[in-house]
């Protein structure tokens, strides 16, 4: 897919994007693991919003996203999100 999206770009740009995506997918660097966890956290937070809106079928997605997290920081964020309502942040002092 990335080849199609970068077909009109300079070969160096094509390599840059291909390498970045490969790094993300392989998850071999701390940056890639952090980016992957950020992606999973985004999915988890959205699923929590859906669940709060009355869509119980997203519980499996929530569980899979939480299980997929690899960094301690991401797991802490997820655990905090699981303890709160998706709108609690609006009423909590910083």
Domain residue limits, the chain: 9-84
pLDDT, tens only, 36-89 = 999 999 999 999 999 999 999 999 999 999 999 999 999 999 999 999 988 887
> CA–CA distance from 38 to each of 53, 63, 68 (Å)?
23, 16, 11
- Distance separating alpha carbons of residues 94 and 90, to the nearest angstrom: 10
* pLDDT value for 94: 62
pLDDT, tens only, 12-44 = 999 999 999 999 999 989 999 999 999 999 999
Instruction: Tell me the angle at which helices 59-68 and 30-52 cross, rounded to the nearest 10 degrees.
Output: 160
Please tell me the pTM assigned to this model.
0.80
- Distance separating alpha carbons of residues 3 and 1, to the nearest angstrom: 5
């Amino acid at each position: 897919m990335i080849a199609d999206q970068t077909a009109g770009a300079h070969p160096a740009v094509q390599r840059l994007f291909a390498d970045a995506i490969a790094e993300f997918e392989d998850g071999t660097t701390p940056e890639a693991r952090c980016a992957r966890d950020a992606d999973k956290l985004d999915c988890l937070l959205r699923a929590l919003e859906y669940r709060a809106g009355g869509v119980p079928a997203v519980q499996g997605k929530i569980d899979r996203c939480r299980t997929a997290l690899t960094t301690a920081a991401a797991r802490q964020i997820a655990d905090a999100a699981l303890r709160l309502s998706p709108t609690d942040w609006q009423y909590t002092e910083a």
